[in-house]
Amino acid sequence: MLRAQLDAQTEAIRQLTHQLDWFKKQLFGPKSEKQVYDLPGQDDLFQPEDAPTPEKPADEEKRIIKAYQRGTGKKQRDDDCLNDTGLRFTADVPVDVIEHLPPELTGPEADQYEVIGSKTTYRLAQRASSYVVLKCERPVFRRKGTEKPMTTPAPFNVLDNSLADVSLLAGLLVDKFQFHLPLYRQHQRIQQAGITVSRSTLTNLVKRTIDLLRPIVDAQTDSVLRSRVLAMDETPIKAGHQGRAGPQKGRMKTGWFWPLYGDADEVVFTYSNSRGRAHIEDVLSESFSGTLISDGYAAYARYAAAQKDIIHAQCWVHSRRYFIEAQKDHPEKVSDALQQIAKLYRNEEAIKTQGLTGEKKRQYRLDHSRPVVSGFFQWCRDQLEQGGLVPSDPLTKALNYVLSREASLTVFLEDPDVQPDTNHLERALRPIPMGKKNWMFCWTELGAEHLGIIQSLISTCKLHDINPYTYLVDVLQRISQHPASEVSDLTPRLWKTRFAENPLRALIEPRHPDRQSKQPEVSVRAH
């Protein structure tokens, strides 16, 4: 009786210790899962005085590090450095040219001097505020001999009867959803610039602008669902108030973003107020057939099992995390498991280095990765057969987790277009958890849907190396005159091939056609 009680208490202490270690890691520990292995032959930091000093190689090659060369102490500039100060910038960066003339060239004896050359230096400067009020003066005129006056039409504006230029609309969206600057901070910045505008006005401008972009995201969603290989995940978001009375009244409800990543490097964030399987069915049931990659959430597996035309593949990185949780209790066994999984990723790196695709990529995986996968699953079975592991042990859970998903974890071996993990999707959805640290939550569920719309476009722009600000300025002006049947041309992937070379500009930009003939000649001029 006492023995059973002692064993139960020992097991409870072990589980509580494991939970405490998890909480400590969340609060104080590193978030990286990268493994650090001890170097052979490296002893303690504090060695005895008579410890032998390692010999220095006779001919040690100098390894060039970016910005300097170790051992020389001399700065090494990159080939793409544009000037001697080390300042690098692209052609899109505005440059103000300041002509600095000495007194000799402006005084009474200026004609006694001649300019034989010039020297140029660069400085990176910042304006206190980037907000500008555009005063559009439009003449009212009439033809001589007539009395009917005519008015010059106002420049096109995205939102009718609005005070906001397209440059402000795009700037609000980019600052909040790409750089996570909440609207109340942007409002403070506008006030500091000497401009009075209400926060509700900014909120309304954002809402109206995102509503214009909804058809583009709908077209992008259709493109993603036509993918042969689709990755799907879910991440929580606080959105909307608890409407019922009681202690929960006034607290934010939990909603979920379900990002989809297609095989054409497009991502869309669909929103649901629950984490149930019903949303997966609503999104995928009518349009998608192919291979679905996901983490170990059971709803994906149950949905795929009920579909005849969907193959379910699961993520090796999520499987690996279960072994990391058992590392403290079983360091040697977990290290063995992690090194076997690491071999798969060394093979993936070799495939990327050699540029293998299609059948060559598939054959390389079969020759090099399949033996590793087979050996890993056999190793997992051997650990369970050896005994000594209780069901609640973290290693037991890790072993059972991967063995129950053996079929879905091996799908990538036969299909070269299937990745062994969902890391590409995890990177694409990072703006959501990063943004929550700044704007905290969405006030309404409609606001969460708007967040998903604009984040779908901004994230896809980044995947295709498109400047989101340039894209939004162009598309917001183009969407009103673009045929509705060809709205897919305005998705970032297709926009890059059709309009990126000559995008529409905002009126504030010097390259806008209405401003090209009105550049003043002053000592400080735009270049």
Indicate the pairing of strand 252-261 with strand 267-272: antiparallel
266 CA to centre of own chain: 12
- For residue 276, give both structure tokens: 């149930």
- For residue 60, give both structure tokens: 């040690």
Measuring CA to CA, which residue among 242, 264, 260, 261 is closest to residue 251?
242
Under 8 Å between Cβ of 20 and 29 = no
User: What CA–CA distance (Å, rounded) separates 208 from 169?
Assistant: 10
Tell me the pLDDT tens digit for each residue of 76-135: 545 554 455 567 888 778 788 888 788 888 888 888 888 888 888 787 777 766 888 888
158 CA to centre of own chain: 27
Indicate the pairing of strand 140-141 with strand 252-261: unpaired
Under 8 Å between Cβ of 500 and 472 = no
Under 8 Å between Cβ of 420 and 370 = no
User: What CA–CA distance (Å, rounded) separates 152 from 314?
Assistant: 62
Exposure on the CB side of residue 259, measured as CA atoms within 13 A: 29
User: What CA–CA distance (Å, rounded) separates 239 from 258?
Assistant: 14
Residue with tokens 């079969």: 366
Cα distances (Å, whole numbers) of residue 410 to 3, 315, 323: 44, 10, 18
Under 8 Å between Cβ of 237 and 442 = yes
pTM to 2 decimal places: 0.80
H-helix or E-strand spanning residue 435: helix 431-439
Terminal-to-terminal C-alpha distance of the chain? 88
The strand ranges marked E within 94-234 are: 96-98, 140-141, 150-151, 229-232
Instruction: Give 230-285 as a DSSP string.
Output: EEE--EEEEEEE--SSSTTTTPEEEEEEEEEE-TTS-EEEEEESS-SHHHHHHHHT
pLDDT given at position 54: 47
User: What CA–CA distance (Å, rounded) separates 463 from 465?
Assistant: 6
Under 8 Å between Cβ of 303 and 276 = no
Under 8 Å between Cβ of 210 and 454 = yes
User: What CA–CA distance (Å, rounded) separates 296 from 281?
Assistant: 17
pLDDT < 50 stretches in the chain = 38-39, 42-47, 51, 54, 60, 65, 67-72, 74-75, 77, 81-82, 516-527
pLDDT given at position 370: 97
Measuring CA to CA, which residue among 147, 190, 294, 300 is closest to residue 232?
294
Residues 6+ apart with CB under 8 A from 297: 234
User: What CA–CA distance (Å, rounded) separates 468 from 188?
Assistant: 23
pLDDT given at position 34: 66
Under 8 Å between Cβ of 237 and 432 = yes
